Amino acid sequence: MNNKHHYVAIMAGGIGSRFWPMSRTAYPKQFLDVLNTGKTLIQWTFDRYQKFIPVENIFIVTSEEYVDIVKQQLPSLPIENIVAEPSRKNTAPCIAYISFKLAQKDPEATFIVAPSDHLILEEDNFQQIVERSLDFVDNIKALVTLGIKPTHPNTGYGYIQYEGLEVAKSVYKVKTFTEKPDLAIAESFIASGDFLWNAGIFAWKAKTILAAFEKLQPEMYELFDQQKESFNTTNEKAVIQKIYPLCTNISIDIAIMEKADNVYVIPSSFGWSDLGTWNSAYDNMEKDYLGNAVASNNVIVIDATKCMVNAPKDKLVVLQGLDDFIVVDTKDVLLICSKEKEQSIKEYVAEVKRNKGDQYI
């Protein structure tokens, strides 16, 4: 297809604290080969879009501190396509920034917003759905989100409820967004059949999402709009340094998607995982006959089952007698944690910070 007005903005500014201690503030999970595949998560994401979006139309929005890592990992990406945020302000300011930047460059820009650290196994299927979403928003003033058909009542994802009537091929109007529910509510969502997981992958025309910001987040819109002439010029960095401290720290879901009345969803299935936790990595890795997933070639497992093991290639690890554990060894931190406690890793990181400062974070 390669429409010259089609772009992708890959968000790569997060710190991935649930993948600690492998993921660190200085080198977070999107830049790591979490699944031991030979490619980092951001490289997989870039390659996935490169198949149908020209490289000059792929933008990476990241934190200033990661610009050099992006350059190193994506050498074919034009340097001016690395968009640096001066601070982390969640996804709404990030999307406002790239939307203004693209609208200034190309008033007809239509683009996908995607996280840099998700796993997608069925790439052809994914490409078809993304192209369908771009075609839909090209012609209709709509904000589209890709909703994943749920396979089980997961409490770690947000949910999208949609109406039963198709408005275009496989496109439905969104009724409600729900933040991460408890298990009973998640089970009722699955049983009802009209709920999807919120994958955080969006499609829209730059001018449509900017109109939504103007209406629903007027203060944030004003901050960027007053300076829009500076985008894509040598003055852009200085201007963004002024704008960002004034932006609210808020997600695009809360700022726009939950409030807008022109939100649509495409129910999708393409082997998706948000790779948010060590358990999700475990689910997507090859396992030995005792159910251990080992991301290293120097681990000896004895009488251990269903463990997730990640260790440096040059370190010998001998693991005996553990059942259902996460074992992650790095040069300066060893984490041994029951798999059922993985949602608490964020709390353990906070505890480390309190007791030991930032050196291990």
Q: What is the pLDDT of residue 110?
A: 96
pLDDT digits (tens, 9 = 90+) for 56-98: 999 999 999 999 999 999 999 999 999 999 999 999 999 999 9
pLDDT digits (tens, 9 = 90+) for 227-273: 999 999 999 999 999 999 999 999 999 999 999 999 999 999 999 98
Mean pLDDT of the chain, nearest integer: 93
What is the per-residue pLDDT for 325?
97
pLDDT confidence of residue 182:
85
More confident position, 17 or 204: 204
pLDDT of residue 36: 85
Q: What's the rounded mean pLDDT across residues 124-131?
A: 95
- For residues 6-16, average pLDDT: 92
Does 1 have pLDDT greater than 80?
no
Opening angle at CA 162, ends 159 and 165, nearest 5: 165
Percent residues over pLDDT 70 in the chain: 99
Judged against a pLDDT cut of 80, whether residue 2 lies above it is answered with: no
Among 49-58, 179-188, 200-209, where is mean pLDDT lowest? Answer: 179-188
pLDDT number for residue 128 = 95
**Domains located in the chain, CATH noted:** 6-273 (3.90.550.10), 278-356 (no CATH)
Q: What pLDDT, on the 0 to 100 scale, is given for residue 17? A: 84
Strand partners, 338: 325
Residues 345 and 353: their CA atoms lie apart, in Å, by 12
What is the pLDDT averaged over residues 106-115? Answer: 96
Burial of 140 (0-12, 13-18, 19+ CB in 10 A): middle
The pTM assigned to this predicted structure is 0.93
Q: How far is CA 359 from CA 64, 142, 330, 354, in A?
A: 20, 45, 13, 11
The predicted structure's pLDDT at residue 196 = 93
pLDDT, mean of residues 7-17 = 91
- Band of pLDDT at residue 276, cut at 50, 70 and 90: confident
The predicted pLDDT at position 6 comes to: 96
Best CA proximity match to 119, nearest among 245, 32, 216, 177? 32
